[in-house]
Amino acid sequence: MTPTRNPFWYRADRLHRERVPAAVRTWLFAGGSLTAHVRARCPDGFRLRILRQRVAPPRRDEAALLGIPPGGRALVREIALCCGARPLVVARTIIPLASLRGRQQRLAGLGRRPLGALLFADRSARREPYQIARLTLRQAGIARPPVVAAPVWGRRAVFRLGGVPLLVSEFFLPVLYERDSD
């Protein structure tokens, strides 16, 4: 098996936005909770599906963003935001184990509740600038990705919740843009 190369992530403020299709830009640069935006698109059939959640070493680039030392471990949560059974967005969250203390222990027990609801309801939450990439879901580190033949656009940002970091990466599946042209 050939190892998957890490993608190059562009700082959002350095990305030539005209190189990104307009329908994609709408989602990549949407403010607020992505879960709320997807839910609004699919009010009757929205569902969050957990793809995988476990304690594991993060990818090297993820660990570097969060200050996790080599060999360190984190809670890795992968979910799909779906309209009915159809995934529209896949997300991967990396939470350093050191961040799961005190009040932030609630992050380990989200279950089917969206992380965005917690982040946007907590006044202590701060988001660092987005990074943008075009990559395959395998390159994104998604273990059991929905079948998508082409690379997808994604964004990621470090959030600080009560001062502790977590990395949220969101990957927009092409079916999301098809819905924009309906």
CATH class for the region spanning 10-180: alpha beta
Q: State residue 118's pLDDT score.
A: 76
Q: Please state, in angstroms and as integers, the Cα–Cα distance from residue 62 to each residue in 3, 75, 117, 145, following that order.
A: 17, 12, 23, 18
SS3 helix, strand, coil % of the chain, rounded to 5? 30, 35, 40
Residue 63: its pLDDT value, please? 94
pLDDT for residue 180: 56
- What is the model's pLDDT at position 1? 35
Domain ranges of the chain: 10-180
The pLDDT profile of the chain, 182 residues, written as one tens digit per residue, is 334 566 788 888 877 777 788 888 889 988 888 888 898 988 789 999 999 999 999 999 999 999 999 889 999 999 999 999 899 999 999 999 988 877 777 777 788 887 877 777 778 788 899 999 998 888 888 877 777 878 999 999 999 988 889 999 999 999 888 755 44
- φ, ψ for residue 17 (rounded to 5)? -60, -30
- Within 13 Å, how many C-alpha atoms sit on residue 118's CB side? 19
Cα separation, 73 vs 146, whole angstroms: 25
What is the DSSP track for 31-96?
Answer: -S-HHHHHHHHSTTTEEEEEEEEEEEPPPHHHHHHHTPPTT--EEEEEEEEEETTEEEEEEEEEEE
User: What pLDDT does residue 5 have?
Assistant: 61
Q: Are strands 126-127 and 86-96 parallel, antiparallel or unpaired?
A: unpaired
* CA 129 to each of CA 17, 52, 86, 165, 173: distance values in angstroms, whole numbers, following the listed order: 15, 26, 29, 13, 22
Q: How confident is the model at residue 57, as a pLDDT?
A: 94
